[in-house]
Structure 1
């Protein structure tokens, strides 16, 4: 819950995951520097992506990897290049819809602003205005008597948040953020900004068996993966493989970026790790042949009010443990061998698990799993945690499930 609160943007998420790993002895390496062959934990940060790996004592150039894959981005509203707008005496911020968000969940909600600023010297500064600043106001029912029969929101006209009164002024938002950060407005020359709900995560339910909060898809997996990798690095036994956490950006819009799973970042980092240990292309091929990736992303818990939307024989429940995600059309990358591997890992970890498959009449979403399998030619298994309200500004999971997932991932990475 603390990780969710502290990570309103992908840029914050990777910095916070890196801080968690640094406590376990990991150190940052820059992509422009030469890498050495020393054992220990390292990580690379690029924008909203993080690749971290731990080289155990005795690892050779052909030692395979065990990868936990996840993503740092979530559907939301992102600030446009010319942000200052307004109408009828209201000052507003122009936003673009990012990913497949549930638009209505952003209405009448107190919103903050977060992301990163790029300065004139091309350095970046994280920014997080974590207080009520913006609001997307819904139209009163008196002015739309049929709203409860079906709400239709136009992304361009109806999703623009308000943040003040008066006429919009060019440069107003950047001047505000520069003041917040103690900067001169003219020093801010670029930005990647998004809105976030300022309501903190909370335990709820009769027995406090649920957690509600933002960005569980997929910061839940990023946090569990970072915790698992740190635990393996701090453990008394050295793993037989090289454990890796790959947290990508831009999954929600197709992963096609230099920090997305479609890009070369993961493959480049793993290759450089092989070559730093004196490896050849033959060693690289041998390492890849023995590599396995668990692609961890949230999935759908059965919804008690919409049971007919779910596959009748597969009803994942909160606190039932991680889910194995299967789709024969390769929207998920799991096959029978992957199922056997996952079942073995969960058994060793003492963690229960569930199966998920989509209703035949419902289109199936996808993950970084098929991309990772196809791009790198490595065995990949899709898993995750069952949640409700996926892609809402506020999602819900079982309070035990993040813990169960982290223990499953730790067992997998410790092989």
Structure 2
């Protein structure tokens, strides 16, 4: 796959994935189209040599893997990890609010969102709705309104003269999007039922039971810059890594068993049944290991690359970086290091990546947070700590992380994909 077609596929994936449910479904469709077989956790599994498989949990997390042979305890796994969720505004259960002549939606903030970036944007609504059918079944369906149906208007500067001196957004009072005026009737459950019937004909909706819905910016992803050198989009953190990991798995050299894990809830700590701090990955790996001894052997011959975006040096805020560890956009992926184990990188896992990148002819950068600033974290330390797999934390340099619209390099994603695809075929990791 060439650089330009790779980026176009990436933009399409980002556009079709407004929520973790939709991102997982987008990956599911691509995997099915490429010959992967879907497994279900409640069923017995029959894994064939040379087979390609995937399984989802909660419709928002996914594990896909290839099995070129069954001697996993002798070769280990080549794993790539990412997460499907992004900071956003999620609807509260009793979402419909009437205030001062307008229909609005009550929201809560999911993750560490940059709140002011949600103002004055054309917003839509997507997620999962669970309902009861006329036949008595309880069913869930994904919905996406796609069209802009809501907006959170800013307050005019005439009414807030200190706005440009900095202001704090109150998420309880000031982030409620406006849907319409109250002169138009609105029953929110009826609105959801109509959307389900429109997207899923013959759904036979009797009553809406519950929902998990998020607002998102309808502006599509784009290549921007004088020479189209940037990718501008919502949810680059971390759907960019999900897409890169998926493409690497599809093009894996199949010398070793390879695995992609994309989990939900990273932005809120990963502690859930389908999060990295839950049992999903270990459950799958143990089902693929005939004995506990084989499981431990395979893990100790494996390596995980946790891919999550990194902070690029912002030219307007250069003082926020350690000058010797300030990555630039379009100069390669970033190895993330933290001595307090906020990242799981060690000298051996970093060296393996550096060696593969050199073989492929791609640059590698390093990131260490300033010593006087707090450091974020990823699924890397969680996964490494849960199952004991040697892990590398890496990411693509990004501006505006956790904004409603983020910015990354149009050359970096393709480079990371090429290195990860080669990693999946790397038989020897560290000579012992």
Distance 1:7 1:299 in 2: 21
The CA deviation at 1:187 is 3.0
- Kindly indicate whether the alpha-carbon contact (under 8 Å) linking 2:73 and 2:297 is maintained by their aligned counterparts in 1: no
Distance 1:168 1:356 in 2: 52
- Report the TM-score, using the length of structure 1 for normalisation: 0.95
Which residue of 186, 196, 201 maps to 2:221?
201
The aligned residue for residue 4 of structure 2 is: none
Distance 1:410 1:122 in 2: 41
Matched, 1:138 2:138: no
The aligned residue for residue 302 of structure 1 is: 313
Distance 1:41 1:78 in 2: 35
- Report the TM-score, using the length of structure 2 for normalisation: 0.91
Which is worse superposed, 77-86 or 21-30? 21-30
Give SS of 1:45's match: strand
The aligned residue for residue 392 of structure 2 is: 381
Give deviations 1:104-142, integer Å, cap 9, x for gaps.
000000000001111223322110111110111111101
Matched, 1:85 2:93: no
Which residue of 230, 244, 251 maps to 2:250?
230
- Kindly indicate whether the alpha-carbon contact (under 8 Å) linking 1:91 and 1:167 is maintained by their aligned counterparts in 2: no
Which residue of 352, 355, 358 maps to 2:369?
358
Give SS of 1:156's match: coil
- Kindly indicate whether the alpha-carbon contact (under 8 Å) linking 1:10 and 1:49 is maintained by their aligned counterparts in 2: yes
The aligned residue for residue 288 of structure 2 is: 273
- Kindly indicate whether the alpha-carbon contact (under 8 Å) linking 1:92 and 1:168 is maintained by their aligned counterparts in 2: no
Matches within 5 A, 1:242-391: 242-274=257-289, 279-391=290-402
- Kindly indicate whether the alpha-carbon contact (under 8 Å) linking 2:72 and 2:298 is maintained by their aligned counterparts in 1: no
The CA deviation at 1:349 is 2.6
Distance 1:316 1:412 in 2: 22
Which residue of 75, 80, 84 maps to 2:87?
75
The CA deviation at 1:61 is 5.3
- Kindly indicate whether the alpha-carbon contact (under 8 Å) linking 1:68 and 1:294 is maintained by their aligned counterparts in 2: yes
Instruction: Go from structure 1 to structure 2 and tell me whether the alpha carbon gap of 1:60 and 1:106 turns closer, same or farther (over 3 Å shift).
Output: closer
C-alpha RMSD of matched pairs (Å)? 1.5
**Structure 1 stretches lacking a partner, 5+ long:** none
Distance 2:162 2:287 in 1: 60
Instruction: Go from structure 1 to structure 2 and tell me whether the alpha carbon gap of 1:103 and 1:168 turns closer, same or farther (over 3 Å shift).
Output: farther
Give SS of 1:359's match: coil
- Kindly indicate whether the alpha-carbon contact (under 8 Å) linking 2:131 and 2:205 is maintained by their aligned counterparts in 1: no
The aligned residue for residue 35 of structure 1 is: 45
Give deviations 1:229-281, integer Å, cap 9, x for gaps.
0111xx5xx31x2100000000000001001000000000011011xxxx211
Matched, 1:176 2:188: no
**Structure 2 stretches lacking a partner, 5+ long:** 1-10, 198-202, 427-432
Matched, 1:152 2:172: no
Give SS of 2:324's match: coil
Which residue of 49, 58, 66 maps to 1:54?
66
Give deviations 1:348-393, integer Å, cap 9, x for gaps.
3322111111111121100000001111111011001000000000
- Kindly indicate whether the alpha-carbon contact (under 8 Å) linking 2:399 and 2:407 is maintained by their aligned counterparts in 1: yes
The CA deviation at 1:63 is 4.1
Distance 1:38 1:148 in 2: 62
Distance 1:167 1:261 in 2: 46
Distance 1:364 1:338 in 2: 20
The aligned residue for residue 24 of structure 1 is: 34
Which residue of 207, 215, 238 maps to 2:235?
215
The CA deviation at 1:60 is 5.0
Which is worse superposed, 25-34 or 56-65? 56-65
Distance 1:377 1:271 in 2: 13
- Kindly indicate whether the alpha-carbon contact (under 8 Å) linking 2:73 and 2:301 is maintained by their aligned counterparts in 1: no
Which is worse superposed, 344-353 or 360-369? 344-353
Matched, 1:11 2:21: yes
